[in-house]
Structure 1
């Protein structure tokens, strides 16, 4: 029988309506004590490890992950040997190779990895990144014909292709081999590719389904290096220098930062900080990154700028930028992506305001639907994923945002919450003929709708996911790792906590509760309606703090109004770099009033 966790600080209902619970039960607390005693790490870091499922015997290795220890033999992936052999042959024979990628960061990263790998052998592949609006996701016959007519004898699809039966069959009928490198959930009927490597294909038992496409691509390159070595080739590329690109794709595709992914990001950030990739360095400069590159910079500053090209501009810019070595060209493309990102932000703000108002009206004073499925002719197709993410965040449930076209069709994106498999539900909708096209993975999915599909799709998704959403929301209590004070939140502590990272999907950022503190000097800052304030403790210690997108929300209203009243604050900590100095910063997640 599972032991119930106690409410942290006796908070049963916060301002956001959540209970706060201790992330560790009694057994977990004992494990944390044992980890601290064996490894010599601080009690707080030991609690963080125990709260993320790290066992006593693996704690030391967890703190120092390596690619060598965590990456299995690539041949454990179904069809890997066939794919690696065919690609090695193409490299050895100097074939004309074409790449077909996706328009998001993972797609750009995967293509850039392959471009850089092939460049080592003097090969310059054709690269096609589809236009999000006019072509949509995945291979299409017209694009495949264009690549073949330009001389391609081998086409490699990256971060796409698993559900592209028609275009791949067409290419094969024209005598061209097609290799698929992907990670998206698949139907049982796979396309007639020459070889298809996807850890989420039904017959793959590698256990690597948590990898993004860039991670799968890296494993492919390891296998190709081995195949070339077996042919007697020498002077093969050092793949570890590509890990910065793998880290970028891994963070931005929001795959779980566990196991091999965690090692990819830690070691990839070490490579990125050397500045060898001109494109990534140029984007960091354009993004006004301060301090050493970290997962936040990849996911919230660099990634969105690459995505901006695919959302509202030239989808190929991201791949071009990550692939080139010319510093001047890199700065020019980075500046263009920064400009596109500014425009994307403007479009997003307007669309999110409309979507939020519609969702609030639909939910009203009741529970509302388990999954929000909203559509509008006013939304740019390039920002529907961002709209869905904001709706999910604001209303605590999965959400789809669908851009309607003049002909009545729609293209949309969905974002989910832990415990709700959105991609599987979308694939079932396609398999039943309810919608013509769709796919994705547990946390994100894309759909294409015909005229008249919206209502039936909305009902289908509600029926399919209603129970899992209810279960997930009931379990969405805020899990707190430890209590701190403003004085105790030091830079030294944060550096120790970083050893348990990187944090993100699957390895949640530690949440700390600050009991009986006050919010002083609140002010609304930035275009996104953030609220900055100073968190102060009873002994007068101060901590810089911010609540993102909190203006005109329950949290923001309390910060602006009740700044003299002691409250319990919960959130995460990060290191803020400013003018060469480091200081701790608190990011607010929730507020609770102390029990009387």
Structure 2
């Protein structure tokens, strides 16, 4: 691990904010590092308000989208709500379809089959619409590159409204409306919405036309918060407001589907991290192992008994997904070792029988192990399909763009993408991808970095300090959990390796001459026990959380690394 500490911001700004808020210097420093410099900005940060949401009509084509949907409602047209099979797509379909059903019964939903149709808008989906007398498709979390598909739909008398957040290609589809804040000609002030967030802006605009405030949409905030967490978009600006209020809905009035998932795992209060690691994988498991419509069904179900039944089915898909993920990861690791792939700048592996639904998770695991831009391929029909994952600071989307001569289609973001290619192009593509990455990546990016926000003395960690720190949540990209560095720590003598395979480190530390001590836990740091034994001094990078044991709650350090 490379340890870096963020630069200390302008002392004058820190001091001014410290005085304005009446907080410790460390808190003021953390806020200024996050671009919060005034009392007013701090208020917006700590108390995210729905008033801070932007006017949805600032988004390019929003007026056209609203007019077309209002026309469809007035003329009782059949509308198809179409979305991708991951969490962002299925929550978007649940959001849009359940909202529109409050205004018309003529709503159908469609999620493409991951295996038969692949990602995004499909000809099959358009045929389904045309065969069922559907004249309007609202596509969510996909569609920004569906130029031929939208043209094909037009020939069949089917209109498209696209809500997407992926990067557009050179051309924009000729749809009735294309809502995507990443369009170059879109001046919407916040560019980082997820697909469900763009869908939310559309229903906000539809409500506004009815003269209703955004508060009437409160029951949908939980879906948006789940998509924000799962799609790993920055939790800043509008996303922070939506995630904050969405978490509140999940924790106070969860929809039947969420309640049923949480009953399966016995969890009370959820943070955005819980949404990412508990709710999201289960919703995703449906599209990975069976079909994304199962997830939509669970998310829109109002009957608690039925929701329990669907949640139990999804729990089974999730268990199946975990097995597949474990097996394929082991096979991929073996392949990399045999082929000496770990000596390259990239990790590219292919397994003909690997389950297409889990190759994205496997790519993430391989990235954690080797810390290289990674692609995991499998056979998909008569093509090869891959999931790409990157390392912090390296744009894998741009790297793939430089390999387009070997690729049939690709799409995605800076850190995650998907692609398909012809089997005959696999070797040429693999070599080209290695060449592009090796020539363009800064080598230090190939060592994982731990970036501490600031250096802290242990005595600064008080209940009051932690109480304010907790209010920095929800955490995520753009507002990560604060990480601290403390030097010259010693273990009080009780440090030990714990866990079934002794792979975690548990200890209690102090910073002399101060006599106070605080408990610490380091997951997967069990092998570092020798560094702290016999009162050897060490430095640690950690975040702070609470440890609950026998009804007692105490603060503890969650160690990220020690040296």
Q: Indicate the larger mover: 478-487 or 96-105.
A: 478-487
Judge conservation of contact 1:380–1:403 (CA < 8 Å) in 2: yes
Cα deviation, residue 169, structure 1: 1.8
Give the whole-Å Cα distance in 2 for the aligned partners of 1:156 and 1:225.
17
Give the whole-Å Cα distance in 1 for the aligned partners of 2:359 and 2:140.
22
Once the two structures are superposed, the pairs formed by residues 250-265 of structure 1 within 5 Å of their partners are: 250-265=228-243
Matched, 1:302 2:279: yes
TM-score (norm: length of structure 2): 0.90
Cα deviation, residue 276, structure 1: 3.7
Give the whole-Å Cα distance in 2 for the aligned partners of 1:54 and 1:91.
44
Cα deviation, residue 585, structure 1: 4.7
Judge conservation of contact 1:280–1:322 (CA < 8 Å) in 2: yes
2:221 aligned residue (243, 265, 289): 243
Judge conservation of contact 1:185–1:423 (CA < 8 Å) in 2: no
Once the two structures are superposed, the pairs formed by residues 383-532 of structure 1 within 5 Å of their partners are: 383-405=358-380, 407=382, 409-427=383-401, 429=403, 432-466=404-438, 469-470=441-442, 473=445, 477-484=449-456, 489=461, 492-515=464-487, 516-518=489-491, 520-525=495-500, 531=504
Q: Indicate the larger mover: 477-486 or 306-315.
A: 477-486
Check 1:376–1:167 CA distance in 2 against 1; reply closer, same or farther (3 A cut).
same
Matched, 1:93 2:84: no
2:44 aligned residue (61, 78, 87): 61
Give the whole-Å Cα distance in 1 for the aligned partners of 2:548 and 2:301.
29
Judge conservation of contact 1:155–1:177 (CA < 8 Å) in 2: yes
Cα deviation, residue 281, structure 1: 1.8
Give the whole-Å Cα distance in 2 for the aligned partners of 1:356 and 1:438.
25
Query: What SS does structure 2 have at the residue aligned with 1:413?
Result: strand
Cα deviation, residue 467, structure 1: 5.3
1:180 aligned residue (140, 162, 185): 162
Query: What SS does structure 2 have at the residue aligned with 1:453?
Result: helix
Q: Which residue of 2 aligns with 1:271?
A: 249
Give the whole-Å Cα distance in 2 for the aligned partners of 1:586 and 1:325.
41
How many residue pairs get matched? 555
Query: What SS does structure 2 have at the residue aligned with 1:161?
Result: coil
Judge conservation of contact 1:572–1:586 (CA < 8 Å) in 2: yes
Q: Which residue of 1 aligns with 2:311?
A: 334
Give the whole-Å Cα distance in 2 for the aligned partners of 1:362 and 1:568.
38
Q: Which deviations, in whole Å up to 9, do the C-alpha atoms of 1:476-495 show, x marking residues without a partner? A: 64322234577765554333
Query: What SS does structure 2 have at the residue aligned with 1:494?
Result: helix
Give the whole-Å Cα distance in 1 for the aligned partners of 2:86 and 2:477.
18
Q: Indicate the larger mover: 235-244 or 45-54.
A: 235-244
Q: Indicate the larger mover: 278-287 or 569-578.
A: 569-578
Cα deviation, residue 319, structure 1: 1.4
Judge conservation of contact 1:486–1:537 (CA < 8 Å) in 2: yes
Judge conservation of contact 1:375–1:403 (CA < 8 Å) in 2: yes
1:588 aligned residue (555, 559, 563): 559
Once the two structures are superposed, the pairs formed by residues 181-330 of structure 1 within 5 Å of their partners are: 181-229=163-211, 238-290=216-268, 292-330=269-307
1:32 aligned residue (14, 20, 23): 14
1:557 aligned residue (524, 527, 541): 527
Query: What SS does structure 2 have at the residue aligned with 1:320?
Result: helix
Judge conservation of contact 1:24–1:50 (CA < 8 Å) in 2: no
Cα deviation, residue 536, structure 1: 3.1
Matched, 1:543 2:519: yes
Residue ranges of structure 1 left out of the alignment (5+ in a row) = 1-15
Q: Which residue of 1 aligns with 2:128?
A: 146
Give the whole-Å Cα distance in 2 for the aligned partners of 1:103 and 1:578.
40
Judge conservation of contact 2:50–2:214 (CA < 8 Å) in 1: no
Check 1:361–1:62 CA distance in 2 against 1; reply closer, same or farther (3 A cut).
farther
Query: What SS does structure 1 have at the residue aligned with 2:424?
Result: coil
Query: What SS does structure 1 have at the residue aligned with 2:182?
Result: coil
Q: Which residue of 1 aligns with 2:321?
A: 344
Give the whole-Å Cα distance in 1 for the aligned partners of 2:521 and 2:459.
13
Cα deviation, residue 153, structure 1: 1.7
Q: Which residue of 1 aligns with 2:4?
A: 21
Give the whole-Å Cα distance in 2 for the aligned partners of 1:496 and 1:448.
47
Query: What SS does structure 2 have at the residue aligned with 1:196?
Result: strand
Query: What SS does structure 1 have at the residue aligned with 2:442?
Result: helix
Once the two structures are superposed, the pairs formed by residues 132-143 of structure 1 within 5 Å of their partners are: 132-143=114-125
Q: Indicate the larger mover: 556-565 or 281-290.
A: 556-565
Judge conservation of contact 1:535–1:544 (CA < 8 Å) in 2: yes
Give the whole-Å Cα distance in 2 for the aligned partners of 1:471 and 1:286.
44
TM-score (norm: length of structure 1): 0.85
Matched, 1:125 2:95: no
CA RMSD across the alignment? 2.8
Q: Which residue of 2 aligns with 1:73?
A: 55
Give the whole-Å Cα distance in 2 for the aligned partners of 1:334 and 1:517.
47
Give the whole-Å Cα distance in 2 for the aligned partners of 1:357 and 1:489.
44
Judge conservation of contact 2:503–2:527 (CA < 8 Å) in 1: no
Give the whole-Å Cα distance in 2 for the aligned partners of 1:577 and 1:97.
50
1:159 aligned residue (104, 122, 141): 141
1:49 aligned residue (9, 31, 34): 31
Cα deviation, residue 30, structure 1: 4.5
